[in-house]
Amino acid sequence: MNNLLGRVIDTKMTDENEKYYFLQNSGSVFQLDKAEQVEPLHIGGHFKGFAYENEDHKLQITSKIPKIQIGRMGFGTVVQSRRDLGVFVNIGLPNKDIVVSLDELPTIKSLWPQKGDRLMVSLSLDNKNRLWANLADETTFQEISQPAPKTMKNQNLKATVYRLKLVGTLVITSDYYLGFVHPDEREQEPRLGEEVSARVIGIHPDGTLNLSLKPRSYEAIGDDAAMLLALLQHNEDHSLPFTDKSDPAAIKTEFGISKGQFKRAVGHLLKAGVITETKTELKLKTEE
């Protein structure tokens, strides 16, 4: 049995009932749901499909062959978790989710993957013929990755967390670039398998990315500062003829906020390093 489950195998039809064909390989009988089969099978006919034990503990074979198999990696989607067992991953089978053992998951339960998160796994079979999903190791991610171009500095991107370490978080992007998030560049530690929104803050010579999960300083400012920034960005000369010394009534008329609000907003933008202030105007800094 150990050379059958979790793999694509060839079988021969030996029987059928109203719902299933029954197919045999090496003395083991697998059921095939007739709803899958466009062309009917006949006694002695051959069928190639993916073999597994379904949730009712019956041997089944399917034409819906998953990318994830024994010896083959792919991303599966987490569908549920059990604190005493691990997390269940959907790899594309009709009636079976595969467990990633809690032995492979973070010690801290809050960092376990949640429903909808993605894990790169392959399958293995234990001595009781049970299929398990096993997390890809770092060597696998190195093998499937590609170096990021130098032009990615300061770009925003999405990435999936694949390893949690004391020194930081390891991620892989949808374009298979590898990235690292230092603890100083995140507000909280992301979960294993979580998709994060990140910003490229550095690129190593080998093409791996240094990433930040924190917003740019000007993205963390309040509504008033965001309004001033938008006005500066859209004005043709990227300036406003106002400073923190301007008349309160003029500020109220122009921006609809008090002078105190205006001064706080200007202070945020100055601290963020996105504007300069002269005696007569505010000026948007040009990005280098």
Give the residue from 136, 152, 182 where a domain finishes: 136
Whether residues 276 and 232 share a domain: the answer is yes
Residue 156 resides in a domain: yes
Residue 228 and residue 205 in one domain: no
Count how many domains the chain has.
4
pLDDT of residue 154: 85
Contacts of 100 (CB under 8 A, 6+ apart): 86, 87, 88, 89, 119, 121, 132, 133, 134, 135
Tens-place pLDDT, residues 138-151: 999 999 999 999 99
38's tokens: 């466009």
62 and 76 Cβ atoms separated by less than 8 Å:
no
Last residue of some domain: 113, 136, 159? 136
Per-residue DSSP letters for 221-253? S-HHHHHHHHHHHHSTTSEES--TTS-HHHHHH
In a domain, 224, yes or no: yes
Structural domain boundaries enclosing 49: 8-62
Residue 2 lies in a domain: no
Same domain, 222 and 276: yes
Last-in-domain residue among 165, 183, 212:
212
- Phi, psi angles (nearest 5°) of residue 73: -90, 155
Q: Which pLDDT tens digit goes with each residue over 159-195? A: 999 999 999 999 999 999 999 999 999 989 999 999 9
| Residues 6+ positions from 18 with CB-CB distance below 8 Å | 34
Same domain flag for 192 and 169 = yes
Per-residue pLDDT of 204-251, as tens digits, reads 999 999 999 987 665 656 788 888 888 988 888 999 999 988 999 999
pLDDT digits (tens, 9 = 90+) for 6-33: 999 999 999 999 999 999 999 999 999 9
Read off the tokens for 6: 């979790």
Q: What is the percent of the chain where pLDDT is above 70?
A: 96
Beta-carbon neighbour count of residue 98 at 10 Å? 24
Whether 35 is in a domain gets the answer yes
Q: How much is the pTM? A: 0.74
- For all residues of the chain together, what is the average pLDDT? 92
Structure tokens at 34: 């007739």
Report the CATH number at residue 188: 2.40.50.140
- Domain-located, residue 67: no
The pLDDT of residue 272 is 80
Residue 1 lies in a domain: no
Task: Say what angle helices 259-272 and 248-255 make with each other, to 10 degrees.
Answer: 80
Q: Is residue 69 part of a domain?
A: no
For residue 77, give the nearest of 100, 103, 58, 54 by alpha carbon.
100
CATH code where residue 17 lies: 2.40.50.330
Nearest in space to 256 (alpha carbons), one of 232, 227, 230, 280: 227
- Provide mean pLDDT across the span 97-109: 96
207 and 247, same domain (yes or no) = no
Q: Is the pLDDT of residue 288 over 60?
A: no
* Domain assignment of residue 129, yes or no: yes
